[in-house]
Each structure stands twice: as C-alpha cells, then as structure tokens.
Structure 1
C-alpha cells in the first residue's frame, strides 16, 4: 500500500460526502432559487447605504444641501427596512429547506433501518442507532439549515463589496484585501482537528446511549438493583460522562486562538484604510479620495471582513459535521441482505405446505447452525420441534418467515421458494408468537390490533375472548384503553402471552410459528394459555418449539434436533419406543409433568 493511498481515499470519501449532502437539497430547488434571489437582493441593498453615506458627507453636508440631506437620510432608512424584509423572507425559506431536509433524513434513515435484517440489529447496539438519530442528525442541523445559505450569501456579499470597493478606489481596495489570506491559511488544519474530535465525541455519545439503554430499561434497572450495583454503574456512567466533557471542551476550544487573531486582523484593516486614505486627503500620497469615501470605505469593510470570517467558521463547522454525515451515511450504506428479488411476485393465498430441502444455515461463516436439514409439514399439520438448547430449533422458525436467508438448500411454502416472493405477502400469511412477548407502550386495544389496525371493536374483543384475556381486560379500570407500560411491564408473563396470542388470532394467518414459554408460568396461567392456543392452532399449519407435553402429544410429527440436524422424527409413541434422544429428553423434562397430570386426573375422578 502506497503512503498516499489513505489520503487519496479520504479525499474521495469527503468528495462523495459533499456530493451526497447536496443531493438532499434536490427536492427543494424552487426554495433554493428563492433563497438565492433574496441573497442577491440583500447583497446589493447592503452596499448601497455605504454609497449614500459618502454622498451625505461629501455632497449634502459638505454642500450645505438640507433637501438632499433629508432625501438621502430617508432613502437610507427605506433601504435598511427593505433589506430587513428580504432577510426575513430569506430566513423563512432557509428554515423551511433545512427542516425539511432534516425530516427527510430522519424518515429515510428510519425506513432504511426497518428494511434491514435481524442480523444487522444483532451486531449493533440499540444505543448507537439511537445516537445516529438524536446526536448525529441533531448535530448536523445547523450545517444543513444555515451552511449552504451562509456560503452563498457570504460569497455574493464579498464579490459585490469588492466590486464597489474597486469602483470607489482601487488603491484602498488593495489595502483592504491584502490581509484576507491571513484568514484562510490555518483554517484547513483547524477543520481537520475539529472533524477528528467530532467523530470521537459522537462515538462516546453513542456509547453513553447504549449504556443508558441497557441500565435504565425495565430489565436492566431490575438487574442493577437486584445485585446492588448502583454505585458501580454510576461510576461507569461518570467515567464516560467525563470523557465526553473533555472531548467537547477540546472541540469547542479548537481554533479559538485562530479566530482571536482573525479579530485582530479585522481591526487592522480599517486602520490601514484610514492611514492610506488620510495620506491621500492630506497630500502625502497622490490621489483624489474624499473624507466621505474613506468613511464609506471603512463601512464597506464591515461587509468584507465579517463574511470572510464567517466563511472560515463555516469551513471549520463543515469539517466538524462531516464526521456526523459519515456516521449517518454508514447506516444508509448498510446493504439489505433480506430483500425482494427484482420483479418478485406476491405470494398467493397458501394452503400451508412447508418444505425444508437440504437446508444449511450459519450465523457466522464456517460455523453452521443447521446442516442438511430436510422435512415437510402438510397443510393443517402440527409439527413440534424438540431438542437440547442450541440444537437449532429457533433458527428453523426464523427461516420460514425469511428473517434470515438460508446459506444452502431451499425453504418453500406451497412450492414457492420464500426468497422468490415479496416479503410483504409472505409476512401477511404468517403469524409468530415468541417466548419473549413484546408489547408497545400504548393501549391494550392498539397492541392487540397491531397486525390489523383496521379491525373493528367486535373483532378485537372476539380475538381477546378466544385468547382468554377479555375478562381480565374488562376488570381493568380503563378496559381496552389501559396503557400497558414499557414492554408491557404492568402485566404478568401469562397476561402478556395471551395478549400476543390475541394479536395473532386477529391477524388470522394460515401458518403459525410458536415458541412456547409456558414453563415459567403458574399452573392457572399455563392452563389459560393452553386453552387459548388450541383454537389458534386449529386448522392452521403450525410449527412449534414445544416445551409442554400436551403440545407434543397433539403433534402430527415430532422433529428431534441436535447440533443443527434432525436426529429423530416420528410420533410420541414411536420415538419413546426407539429409546433415543427423545426418550432421554422425555425422561428428563416431561416425566414429572406426566406424573403431575396423572395425579390431577386421579384426584378429579375421586372428587
């Protein structure tokens, strides 16, 4: 690798970033044109008062012309008023452009994240993604809103001002601009340092966001309190907070010495103009400048040096914000590894036949989670997946709705490879109930109707009744309008499970994927959930990760997985007769449950 390669790539990346930022403004061309017109009018109006000042001093006051003095004074006030109104219009258009661009970025970023696969979220912290939304997009707001206008406005102002200066007096114009290069020389280096510090700061803010997400969530704060780790976690937070503080102090102080010297040069310019202009007036230097022209010239310096300083500031701000744009575009550039094939058809209404044919899958390269897996599920059948932890049961259920793509073989529904149909049409015909039930911080009604927002009240109630949760909901003071709290923390595990079952019943999918979680529930909740699952699974193709003996006994086929392969398959009776892994699992996991069920039945008979 050549020594210059990294710098070349860096230059290319900066060029690409600037180009992509400019494309964000493309939908608002008319607004941009309006801003440009306002800038041109404002720049022209801004230099005229200096000319009028010279006329007031040299002609009106010097010529003792009261009428001209009044006229020029009124004209100056009118020009300032008109310039102010143009500035207000420019500010409005500028803010509309900036805020719309910001909204576009937020909305496109969120939509893009929605389209990324679970693999992406598995390797990225939620806090970091939140930081991209809050800190990174928030950090570029000033640049997006003001930078473009600031650059154009300052450049136009400088050009118009220089033209007027040269028209006034070429010598004084040369004196005024001779110190301008001193403004620009250190700017590039200051910008590089700001960019580096800005990226480091945003990464630390993302780290803090992840930390807060982990420790202040319901599950996290319970864990912290349970193990009495408040002091330890506070110490970790304080350490990160101090590191952010130090970075932000350095970031804010970078270039302040530079800008102090810029202020010094800004006072040096008028002094040189007074010196050279005064020499012309008193005859030390040959020239024809008037006192009024000198005063007007110094006034024009106020429209030359401040815009030049602002341009330098803008460049430094751009360099600081470039790292934020880089972080945002990193997410935009994340490829969609689960996407529709070009021209993919919609999956027609299915009967529910599922086929795995020689399926291989790996979460990470060279480490297969599934190997040469083949099985079929006929429409309306119930297939139970059993096996030790890490056998690949959950992975199988993730491949049917194409949450992940197989690395070998095919998964098909009614003969359609799931990779060849539109994802939306596939998801519409599948329903999932996972072990970890997730509820949004909203009403029970909205949580149940999440899969069918247009469902009627009667349909929602019918789904809740089928899931054995309606009576519980009606006992609540707010009924279906009860807010469940973050992740449904106000509800018990069994209640959340039944809400999730009601949600799937309302969706009415043809294929059901179920990961039972009843092992951690009390017998009453377990019985209610089992009763809710029976109508849910009836006449639907169901693939279930089974933890309950009742589910296993109801299955048409039991698939026993171990190390990503099917090692046994058949009915409960047949698998027990084989005395293999299933028989061992049965003796370890289900015998106690069988004895308990037998005892309960005997007690019921005696009663």
Structure 2
C-alpha cells in the first residue's frame, strides 16, 4: 500500500550541477520507475471528448490542405497572369488567394474554440478528480505532507500541463499535417530543391531532443522549489503564522528564508529560458539561410534547369512554411517532455490508495431509528509504521443516550480512541460498533450523519457565520440556524454583530475568541443532530469563565445523545454515567466518579492532584 507522496528533492538534478543535456538524472530515473507515465492513460483523459477531437483533427487537416494552395496560386500569378497581362486570370488568382486566407482564418478560430473547450474540460476533470481523491485520504496523509506541496500539485502542476492539453496536442496534429503536405508539394515542384531543404531535418530533431532533456531536469527542480515557496507562504502568511512570527521575532528570518527560496526559483527560471538557446539559435540561422541556398541551387544547370521564377518563389514560400511546423514540433517536443514530469506527479497522487475506504457493500442504515449504542470490542490500534500499540484490547460499551468520559495521563490513547468512532483512524484489530454495525461497514455519509465531533481545535472557514453553519446542513433555514445558535448559547452575540449572521468570521475564525469559536462549532454540530457525540478536549484551552459557558452548551448538546467525552478537567465529567481511565492504551479502571474515588485508584489520584493544583490531566 502506498502511504504518502515520494518526497521531491529540490536539488535532484546532479546535486545542483547541471549535467550533460542528454543525461537523465538518477532522481528522474527513480521517478519514472516508481511512477511511469503511460500514454494510454493520458489518452484516457480525452475519451469523453472523442467527437470534438475528431472534428478538430478534420478542421486542422482541412486548414492545412487549403493553405497549401497559396504557393501554387502565387506561381500562377508570377508565371502566367502577370507576364501575359491576363487580367481575368489575375483577378481569379487573387480572389482565390483571399479566399484561402479567409477560409483558413475561419477554420483556425473554430478549431481553437473547440480545442480550448476540450482542453479546459480535461483540466477541469483532472482537477476535480485529484481534489476528490485527496479528500478521500486519511488524516495521516495530510500530517505527512506539507500544505504547500498539496497546493503546488493542485495548481502549479496542473497548470503546467494545461498548455500541453489545451494547445500542444492540436499543434502536433496541425504541424504534422502541414509538414507532410508541404513536403509532398515541395517534391512535386522540384525534387532537387526539396532534397536540399529536407536534409536539415535530422539534425533539427537531434537538437530538439537535447534541449527537451535539458529543460525537463530544470522544470522538475522548478516544481520542487515552487512547492517549498508555497509552503513558506502557507506557514508564514496565515493568521497563526503571522502571530507566531511577531511574538518570537522571526519576521526577519522568515523574510530572508523566503527571499532565498524566491532567488533560487528565479535562477531556475533563467536557466529554463536560456536552456538550449544557442542550439536553437544555430538551427534558426540554418533555416534562415536555406532560401539563399535555394536561390543558388536554382541557378545551377543541374538543379535549376526548367525552373521558372514563379516555381522558385512558390518553393521558397513552401520551404518557409515547412520549417515553421518543424520548429513548432520541436517546441511541442520540449513542452511534452516537460509536461510528463507534471503528469507523473499528478498520477503519483491519483494512485495513492486511501488507507480508510468506503465499504464496497455498505450496511443499510435507517438514520431515523439509530439508537446510538457504541461498543469498542477488543480494540487494538497502532499508527502505520509503528510497532508499539497506542491502544491494546480496549473493550468498552457506551449504552445509548448515556455519557462516558475517558480520562488519563498524556499519551494514554484517549484522543486516539475517540478518533476511531468517526473513522478518522481505523482499528488495527477488533471492532468499533454502533448499534451492532461495524463503522467500517457504514457509508461515510451515514457515519457522518450519526457521529458528530466537537474538538479542541475548532476550524471555521473564511466566510460568514451563516455559511459556516450551512457547511453542516446546506438546506437549513434561518429558523433552524437561530435555534442552534440559541442552544449553543451564542445567539445574542451573533445578533449584536454588524451584519448578524452574515458577518464574516475572519481567517480561521480569528474575529471571535476561542470560546465563541467553540460555541459556533457546537451550533454547527447541533444542526446535524447526530445521535452519537464525540467531545474531544472541547474546553481544554479555555479559561474558567468561558469554559463554563461552553460547558453549558455542551451539556445541552449531550443531553439526549450518546456521548463520548475526552476529559481535561475532571470536574467537567462528575455527572458522567461512566468514567474510563486509560493508561498506556489499556483500560485501567471504570465506574462513576464516586465509585472510582472510593476505590482510591488512578482516578482518585488524578482527582486529588487537580484539586491540589499540582498538575492537570493533559489529553493529547
């Protein structure tokens, strides 16, 4: 199973030293070996657009063939119409030349419109598929992967493929058709001159390959540096990042670090722009010299015998029309090799197998009749790659409509146990059941409707209060929204805001205090009306006054539901029907608060420490 993205070394191409242009770096070889790019797979992206693509090919072929008439019309003007003062023929030839130009222009606009729509459709499908696929990944993927890397692949890599998908594919068809048709026309006009013109094509292809390989190495380095740069932006220019930088005095260092990464990216862009320029410039000089060579060859008896001036002029026009598509194909070759790196990176993530999967044959759940009985049945859990269990043989039942509190020292596995219920993690052994149904057999949508989570880390999107609530229930009306705000003890505050529920909460909700954010999160959870509630350290970061306000809202939320509470302050779980003490991932003891104090065990010790102020139970 693939567990995460393969890291990309920004200096992978020769350790920062550019090797020979035909040499493929070890990092490139490794990337292609681990994640090869199949042309058939790329072709499947275009399968839904077969009809428009066929029309584009026909339009390109038609345009290329029509444009080939132009040199022959020129020859007719020079050799026949003008020398013989044939005004009628001249008018027809000129009219035909204008018609050819008009037809090719109209076809060009039509073809561009269709090909652009196809290209944008393919890019939309790919972006959407990648976004949905990444959403299916577990939390572990996102803890292992920089946010900047995710943004880079979602934007930079896909944008890097865009020119290839939108323009290059059609350019290949146009240039190939034009090159073949032009070569045939040149041979028909003069085989001798055609031989002179076509002899430069093999070295042109060789130069194009050298330049393509050189630019591919630089492009892969650019993408890795761009991901690093975006990560600096994501970390340094967020609300939390700015707060940290200003309070620890690291703004200067952060700016210097960003400047260094930006300078490296600028240097790579310079290398990319200049890569192979001398080789390409040499070929351009050769192409420019070919017309002169043609005029010279036309003057020799062997090659020029029987050639009219019109033929030479027409041939020269065809020759220039040949080298344009050839140069275009060389350019497309460079773009193609470059884009393959982008495809590799995108397909690499599309091939990630989600660690937590939707069941193939999900259990049928009637959400209206769910009672909410929760059972942890001999549960073991270990994080991927770790041999030591975080949880071992946890056997626990939470009757429907009751509250169970989980307490224990730091690292005892409390939050990990809570994460198994909404399937943020999956058990390594054993089962987690709701009303006797394994959560791994439930649809994600059903499980999300049954289990609600309020955690210590509240996340509010940068939108209005209303939009933050509607994330949980898009069809809720204003009456429902005010009802949950009342229940969460925050309706009066929202009414007093400048725009009421339409007031923006700010980036990550920083317009509001921690307690206010928590109560908005509680309101959002209430809107979904879950039968099972997980309260994971929901008040641990709050002061006593704010905690009392939030706790009142939580008590209301938990009053009619099955509730699993991860407790920070033991005073908040005095009324729980069941308290479970974890230690080292095992259940140490269980019972009500009075029963556990009377036993004088671990809970009594923790409770005494908190009362004496000697320490608090942390639950990470």
TM range (shorter): over 0.9
Determine the C-alpha separation between the residues in 2 that align with 1:84 and 1:292.
Answer: 25
Matched position secondary structure for 1:451? coil
TM-aligned CA deviation for residue 20 of structure 1: 2.2
TM-aligned CA deviation for residue 523 of structure 1: 3.4
Matched position secondary structure for 2:343? helix
Q: Compared with structure 1, are the counterparts of its residues 546 and 472 closer, same or farther at alpha carbon in structure 2 (3 Å cutoff)? A: same
Higher mean Cα deviation, 519-528 or 176-185?
519-528
What is the CA deviation profile of residues 544-578 of structure 1, one whole-angstrom value per residue up to 9, with x for unaligned ones?
00123343211111111111111121111121122
Counterpart for residue 373 of structure 2:
353
What is the CA deviation profile of residues 8-38 of structure 1, one whole-angstrom value per residue up to 9, with x for unaligned ones?
9877778734322222111111111121111
TM-aligned CA deviation for residue 444 of structure 1: 0.8
| Residues 1:364 and 2:381 aligned together | no
Higher mean Cα deviation, 51-60 or 361-370?
361-370
| Residues 1:450 and 2:471 aligned together | yes
TM-aligned CA deviation for residue 46 of structure 1: 1.3
Counterpart for residue 11 of structure 2:
none
Matched position secondary structure for 1:547? coil
Q: Compared with structure 1, are the counterparts of its residues 525 and 286 closer, same or farther at alpha carbon in structure 2 (3 Å cutoff)? A: closer
Determine the C-alpha separation between the residues in 1 that align with 2:247 and 2:410.
Answer: 26
Counterpart for residue 460 of structure 1:
481
Counterpart for residue 233 of structure 1:
254
Q: CA RMSD in A?
A: 2.1
Determine the C-alpha separation between the residues in 1 that align with 2:372 and 2:89.
Answer: 93
Q: Compared with structure 1, are the counterparts of its residues 15 and 442 closer, same or farther at alpha carbon in structure 2 (3 Å cutoff)? A: closer
Higher mean Cα deviation, 59-68 or 390-399?
59-68
Counterpart for residue 129 of structure 2:
108
Q: Compared with structure 1, are the counterparts of its residues 37 and 54 closer, same or farther at alpha carbon in structure 2 (3 Å cutoff)? A: same
Q: Compared with structure 1, are the counterparts of its residues 12 and 435 closer, same or farther at alpha carbon in structure 2 (3 Å cutoff)? A: closer
Q: Say whether the 8 Å CA contact 1:151–1:311 is kept in structure 2.
A: yes
1:370-409 equivalences in 2 (<5 Å): 370-409=391-430
Q: Compared with structure 1, are the counterparts of its residues 131 and 293 closer, same or farther at alpha carbon in structure 2 (3 Å cutoff)? A: same
Q: Say whether the 8 Å CA contact 2:192–2:303 is kept in structure 1.
A: no
Matched position secondary structure for 1:360? strand
Determine the C-alpha separation between the residues in 2 that align with 1:427 and 1:27.
Answer: 33
Determine the C-alpha separation between the residues in 1 that align with 2:314 and 2:197.
Answer: 13
Higher mean Cα deviation, 511-520 or 239-248?
511-520
Determine the C-alpha separation between the residues in 1 that align with 2:269 and 2:29.
Answer: 29
TM-aligned CA deviation for residue 527 of structure 1: 2.1
Determine the C-alpha separation between the residues in 1 that align with 2:611 and 2:513.
Answer: 25
User: Which of 354, 360, 364 lines up with 1:336 in the alignment?
Assistant: 354
Determine the C-alpha separation between the residues in 2 that align with 1:9 and 1:217.
Answer: 35
Determine the C-alpha separation between the residues in 1 that align with 2:35 and 2:202.
Answer: 24
Counterpart for residue 591 of structure 2:
570
TM-aligned CA deviation for residue 4 of structure 1: 14
TM-aligned CA deviation for residue 75 of structure 1: 1.3
Determine the C-alpha separation between the residues in 1 that align with 2:324 and 2:194.
Answer: 16
Counterpart for residue 75 of structure 1:
96
Determine the C-alpha separation between the residues in 2 that align with 1:6 and 1:441.
Answer: 39
Determine the C-alpha separation between the residues in 2 that align with 1:145 and 1:285.
Answer: 43
User: Which of 290, 293, 313 lines up with 2:311 in the alignment?
Assistant: 293
Determine the C-alpha separation between the residues in 1 that align with 2:77 and 2:375.
Answer: 92
Counterpart for residue 499 of structure 1:
520
Q: Say whether the 8 Å CA contact 1:17–1:322 is kept in structure 2.
A: no
Q: Compared with structure 1, are the counterparts of its residues 17 and 208 closer, same or farther at alpha carbon in structure 2 (3 Å cutoff)? A: farther
TM-aligned CA deviation for residue 389 of structure 1: 1.4
Q: Say whether the 8 Å CA contact 1:176–1:269 is kept in structure 2.
A: yes
User: Which of 252, 265, 270 lines up with 2:291 in the alignment?
Assistant: 270
Counterpart for residue 47 of structure 1:
68
Higher mean Cα deviation, 576-585 or 103-112?
576-585
Counterpart for residue 55 of structure 2:
34
Counterpart for residue 604 of structure 1:
none
Determine the C-alpha separation between the residues in 2 that align with 1:507 and 1:361.
Answer: 29
TM-aligned CA deviation for residue 108 of structure 1: 1.1
Counterpart for residue 424 of structure 1:
445
Q: Compared with structure 1, are the counterparts of its residues 285 and 112 closer, same or farther at alpha carbon in structure 2 (3 Å cutoff)? A: closer
Counterpart for residue 131 of structure 1:
152
Determine the C-alpha separation between the residues in 1 that align with 2:373 and 2:31.
Answer: 53
User: Which of 80, 94, 102 lines up with 1:59 in the alignment?
Assistant: 80
Aligned residues: 589
Counterpart for residue 478 of structure 1:
499
User: Which of 480, 483, 508 lines up with 1:487 in the alignment?
Assistant: 508
Matched position secondary structure for 2:427? coil
Structure 1: runs of 5 or more not aligned: 594-607
Counterpart for residue 531 of structure 1:
552
Q: Say whether the 8 Å CA contact 2:193–2:303 is kept in structure 1.
A: no
TM-aligned CA deviation for residue 155 of structure 1: 0.3
Determine the C-alpha separation between the residues in 1 that align with 2:30 and 2:151.
Answer: 28
Counterpart for residue 211 of structure 1:
232
Q: Compared with structure 1, are the counterparts of its residues 136 and 525 closer, same or farther at alpha carbon in structure 2 (3 Å cutoff)? A: same
Counterpart for residue 5 of structure 2:
none
Determine the C-alpha separation between the residues in 2 that align with 1:265 and 1:14.
Answer: 39
TM-score (norm 1): 0.93
Determine the C-alpha separation between the residues in 1 that align with 2:429 and 2:285.
Answer: 70
Determine the C-alpha separation between the residues in 1 that align with 2:455 and 2:54.
Answer: 53
Counterpart for residue 306 of structure 1:
324
